[in-house]
Amino acid sequence: MTATIKDIAARTGLSITTVSLVLNNKQSRISPKTRQLIFDTARELNYIPNQMAVSLVTKETKTLGLVIMDIANPFFAELSKGISAKASAYAFDIILCDTGDSYEQTMRSLKLLASKNVDGVVMTLSDEIRDEKMKVLSDFLQNHTLPVVLIERVDRLVMADCLNVNHEKGSRLAADHLLKLGHRKVGCITGPSHLEATGRRLKGLKDVFAENGVEFRPELVVEGDYHIESGYAGTERILTADPSVTAIYAFNDLMAYGVYQCLKDRGIGIPDQMSVVGFDDIFFSKMLYAPLTSVALPIRQMGERAVQLLIERVANRELPRRCDVLEPSLIVRESTAAPRGTGPLD
């Protein structure tokens, strides 16, 4: 149905080789008239190269895999936007694999991608993936020598380039902001405790408290899982532990939304009765009635950078392993204020 290079050859009376050479602008010496003839015929026949055939011989597909936990999550959606844009700029396209946060699906996706011969993959890892699961995954990648860029997760197991965030710094910004406002009783809803990110963010928080001579209260720290519901539940637990808490710091915006809901259900006002700080600064956070103060990540740029790293590695697999760290910044909005009855300290 679709015209092939053969059709062009037949139509012009030239050889397949010549057509291929011309269409790919190889620096071969083919006369201008012949070139033109071929181009014209190609246009006329609506010729579109068959990438399957091309890839079969060239061993490259100009395709990247994107293994993502949940495309409906605005963080990942935004990340994908950056990835997609950058890939497109380099004439790569991307196969989207939504793993729904599951290990099995992640492995299945990876096999699929390997089967489709993608040139590389950008991936985010489900929290569930660690220890032996991580090992299996890592072995698979090694086995198929698939270039990978890992987002927001470093792991000595996986020989991949990474894109990370200065978690500690992010927490420091948030903590500093709250302490300066005068908050002393701060609740915190973290991510899964086995993740390195969680530890680093917690460290940043503790350090700032220590540096300011403010007591850090571990009983006000509850573990969340980055979903809205755990923000809600976490708030309840914090409030139970100490009803006089004046601020809550959630390790992502989604959980902060859960915090909002819980506070609303309890009739606790933001920021007059409770300050809330999030992390990620996803698009909708600014749309909340009390626009959320949040540690902002350059999400889209992360996506773009990830593709950049990946494409560089695809071009040269011998590159030393690289691990970029992006700097967060604090976006102060209306969800934070001095606690009732106090003024800011400085």
Partner DNA sequence: TGATTTAGGTCAAACGTTTTACCGAGCAGA
Partner DNA sequence: TCTGCTCGGTAAAACGTTTGACCTAAATCA
Residues of span 120-159 touching a second copy by CB under 8 A: 143-145
Q: Which residues contact 1 (CB under 8 A, 6 or more apart)?
A: none
Starting at the edge strand found earlier in the chain, the sheet holding 221-223 runs: 221-223, 186-190, 247-250, 275-280, 293-296, 329-331
Q: Which is nearer to DNA, 143 or 240 (CB)?
A: 143
* Upstream peptide bond of 32 is cis (omega within 30 degrees of 0): no
Three-state secondary structure of 253-322: HHHHHHHHHHHHHCCCCCCCCCEEEEEECCHHHHHCCCCCEEEECCHHHHHHHHHHHHHHHHHCCCCCCC
Q: How far is the C-alpha of 305 from the C-alpha of 318, rounded, in Å?
A: 19
| Binding partner selected for residue 15 from a second copy, DNA, none, CB under the kind-specific 5 to 8 Å limit | DNA
Q: Spell out, one character per residue from 268 to 307, where the chain touches a second copy: x when CB under 8 A holds, - when not.
A: ---------------xx--xxxx-----------------
| Binding partner selected for residue 84 from DNA, a second copy, none, CB under the kind-specific 5 to 8 Å limit | a second copy
Residues in contact with a second copy, total (CB under 8 A)? 53
Residue in this structure with the two tokens 């609303």, named with its chain if needed: 264
Residue 43 sits in the site that holds DNA (CB under 7 A): no
| Binding partner selected for residue 340 from DNA, a second copy, none, CB under the kind-specific 5 to 8 Å limit | none
Q: Which is nearer to DNA, 30 or 338 (CB)?
A: 30
CB of residue 91 vs DNA: minimum separation in angstroms? 14
Residues of span 50-79 touching DNA by CB under 7 A: 50, 52-54, 56-58
Binder among 6, 111, 266, 340 for a second copy (CB under 8 A): 111
Residue 36 sits in the site that holds DNA (CB under 7 A): no
Q: How far is the C-alpha of 123 from the C-alpha of 89, rounded, in Å?
A: 19
Q: How far is the C-alpha of 246 from the C-alpha of 312, rounded, in Å?
A: 47
Residue 241 sits in the site that holds a second copy (CB under 8 A): no
Binder among 21, 78, 179, 330 for a second copy (CB under 8 A): 78
301 token code pair: 């740029």
Secondary element (H or E) of residue 67: strand 63-68
329 token code pair: 């910044």
Task: Confirm if 340 and 246 have CB atoms less than 8 A apart.
Answer: yes
| Binding partner selected for residue 31 from DNA, a second copy, none, CB under the kind-specific 5 to 8 Å limit | DNA
Residue 41 sits in the site that holds DNA (CB under 7 A): no
Residue 112 sits in the site that holds DNA (CB under 7 A): no
Q: Which residues contact 184 (CB under 8 A, 6 or more apart)?
A: 214, 215, 246, 339
Residue 319 sits in the site that holds DNA (CB under 7 A): no
Residue 97 sits in the site that holds a second copy (CB under 8 A): yes
CB of residue 40 vs DNA: minimum separation in angstroms? 14
Q: Which residues pair with 296 in a beta bridge?
A: 280, 329
Q: What is residue 292's DSSP assignment? A: P
Residue 74 sits in the site that holds a second copy (CB under 8 A): yes
Residue 199 sits in the site that holds a second copy (CB under 8 A): no
The piece of 12-20, 88-96, 159-167, 219-227 that touches a second copy (CB under 8 A) is 88-96
Helix then strand count (H, E) for the chain reads 12, 12
CB of residue 308 vs DNA: minimum separation in angstroms? 24
Q: How far is the C-alpha of 255 from the C-alpha of 228, rounded, in Å?
A: 4
Q: Which is nearer to a second copy, 103 or 257 (CB)?
A: 257
Rounded (10°) angle between helices 253-265 and 228-241:
50
* Upstream peptide bond of 271 is cis (omega within 30 degrees of 0): yes
Binder among 14, 67, 110, 228 for DNA (CB under 7 A): 14
Q: How far is the C-alpha of 45 from the C-alpha of 40, rounded, in Å?
A: 9
Residues that bind a second copy (CB under 8 A): 1-2, 46, 48-53, 55-56, 61, 63, 66, 70-74, 77-78, 80-81, 84-85, 88, 93-98, 100, 105, 111-112, 114-117, 143-145, 257, 260-261, 264, 283-284, 287-290
